[in-house]
Amino acid sequence: MTSIKILGPGCAKCKATYEVVKKAIEQSGVQAEVTKIEDLEGMMKYNILTTPVVVIDEQIRISGRVPALDEIKRLLN
């Protein structure tokens, strides 16, 4: 099962990123667990400078922007 983490303080862009990721999982049929990390301590473990961040299987894949639906689908396959 794929592990996906959305890092961000809960801003509008972070929420939009979460929704895009959930929709991409639904459409692609991939088995994935999505976790939101909103606390500063949890985010600092990834040494990030901008949010939102999409982490797939412990690798930072997208940082500082809301990804497109097709982009997430490509990363999942």
Q: Which residues pair with 59 in a beta bridge?
A: 56
Catalytic residue among 3, 9, 10, 11: 11
73 has catalytic annotation? no
Query: Is 11 one of the annotated active-site residues of the chain?
Result: yes
| CB count in 10 Å sphere of residue 57 | 12
Catalytic residue among 7, 14, 53, 62: 14
Burial of 64 (0-12, 13-18, 19+ CB in 10 A): exposed
Active site residues per annotation? 11, 14
